[in-house]
Amino acid sequence: MALSRVCWARAALWGSAVTPGPHVTRKLQLVRCGLAWGAPRSSKLHLSPKADVKSLISYVVAKTKVINGKYHRFLGRHFPRFYVLYTVFLKGLQMIWADAKKARRIKTNMWKHNIKFHQLPYREMEHLRQFRRDVTKCLFLGIISIPPFANYLVFLLMYLFPRQLLIQHFWTPKQQIDFLDIYHALRKQSHPEILCYLEKVIPLVSDAGLRWHMTELCTKIQRGTHPATHDILALRECFSNHPLGMKQLHALQMKALSRAMLLTPYLPSFLLRHRLRTHTTVIHQLDKALAKLGIGQLSPQEVKSACYLRGLNSTHIAEERCRTWLGEWLQISCSLKEAELSLLLHNVVLLSVNYTGTRR
């Protein structure tokens, strides 16, 4: 019995007398395959959910761009005039959205660091000023489109009256030139009335020297001569109190000055005076910030926009001439005190009416 057990153990150890079962045979085959082909590679049969979403989004975006490009080519080929308006409208939306984000960033920075408007750099001040005017104009469109189905009428009015209802972002390049010429022609209509009023108040000036300077200035302008900066600054005392101070201006004179500043004249006298004072104060603050920055730092478009805001029709004047005129304006503006801002208000007419290169 003991001998048979020893023989059986020896046979099991050497494998000569025991045949492995089917389960063991299968394992040996798998091990041999593993040794022959190496370790099995792990392969991902499916992407993760995030990767699926990203790939789907990229696919949709790519297809949308392709369809959008085909749509643009179709419009440009079959409806060229409508395509121009369509592209200008889309670019205008993008520009006003970018302006809104920039204005929000500026206002947030002002709130965080307790910065006032007049302490901002020139470009940020100008951006906020223009954005406020644009929002005011867009707000009117929003109000008249509130009634049901009024939005269809609004689109028609925008197409028929783009100058009155749309901001510059939605004007075509040709419209920008034409509309700026129209606006300047409107404010030029008030120039003779303003100059006539200046001549009428000459006898009311108490100082004889100031009366002589006022007479000389009006005579030069009536002859078509562009006045020098010292000729205008010599009269700063007349514009700080009676008869040409901001508080002494009559209603008709304020209406004419409002038209010269492209502000509505159809308001009560106290509101006209407040708007003129506020608008002139903002320009005075812009002038101080621009003097710190330097005119040479402005781009050609910024120079022309700054000149147009201050009364010069810069659309048809060379850039160098615009820079020269803007330098004269800053020389006058930065020399004035807050009580003398009525002179800066009248300077819109005095300095621009006879400047070389302006259209008569």
Establish if 30 belongs to a structural domain: no
Q: Examine the domain organization and report whether 155 and 294 are in the same domain.
A: no
29 versus 195: which is more confidently predicted? Answer: 195
Task: Give yes or no for residue 245 having a pLDDT over 80.
Answer: yes
Per-residue pLDDT at 189? 94
How many domains is the chain built from? 2
Establish if 144 belongs to a structural domain: yes
- At residue 68, φ and ψ (nearest 5 deg) are -65, -40
Provide the 10 A C-beta neighbour count for residue 219: 11
Q: Examine the domain organization and report whether 205 and 332 are in the same domain.
A: yes
| 170, 188, 216 - which closes a domain | 170
What letter does residue 338 receive in the DSSP assignment?
G
Per-residue pLDDT at 280? 96
- Nearest-5° angle of CA 153, CA 156, CA 160? 135
- The region that residue 150 occupies, defined by phi over 0 for left and psi between -120 and 50 for alpha, beta otherwise, is alpha
As a whole-number percent, the residues of the chain with pLDDT over 90 amount to: 59
Q: Examine the domain organization and report whether 292 and 329 are in the same domain.
A: yes
pLDDT, average across residues 226-231: 93
Helix or strand (DSSP H, E) at 109: helix 80-113
| pLDDT single digits (tens) 76-130 | 777 777 777 778 888 888 999 999 999 999 999 999 999 999 999 999 999 999 9
Q: Examine the domain organization and report whether 178 and 224 are in the same domain.
A: yes
Q: From CA 188, how far away is CA 88, in angstroms rounded?
A: 29
Per-residue pLDDT at 358? 58
Peptide bond into 192 cis (omega under 30): no
Establish if 301 belongs to a structural domain: yes
**CA dist list (Å): 65 to 77, 85, 135:** 18, 20, 31
What is the Cα 312 distance to its own chain's centre?
21
Per-residue pLDDT at 357? 61
Per-residue pLDDT at 48? 60
Q: Examine the domain organization and report whether 236 and 146 are in the same domain.
A: no
Task: Give yes or no for residue 11 having a pLDDT over 50.
Answer: no
Establish if 12 belongs to a structural domain: no
| 148, 170, 192 - which closes a domain | 170
As a whole-number percent, the residues of the chain with pLDDT over 70 amount to: 84
Q: Examine the domain organization and report whether 204 and 346 are in the same domain.
A: yes
Establish if 77 belongs to a structural domain: yes
Q: Examine the domain organization and report whether 278 and 143 are in the same domain.
A: no
State which residues form the domain around 280: 173-351
Q: Structure pTM?
A: 0.78
Residue 13 — pLDDT band, cuts 50, 70, 90?
very low
| 111, 145, 170 - which closes a domain | 170
Q: From CA 176, how far away is CA 95, in angstroms rounded?
A: 15
Residue 108: both structure tokens together: 């947030």
Q: Examine the domain organization and report whether 331 and 188 are in the same domain.
A: yes
pLDDT, average across residues 165-184: 92
Q: Examine the domain organization and report whether 211 and 92 are in the same domain.
A: no
Residue 14: both structure tokens together: 């050497």
pLDDT, average across residues 203-221: 92
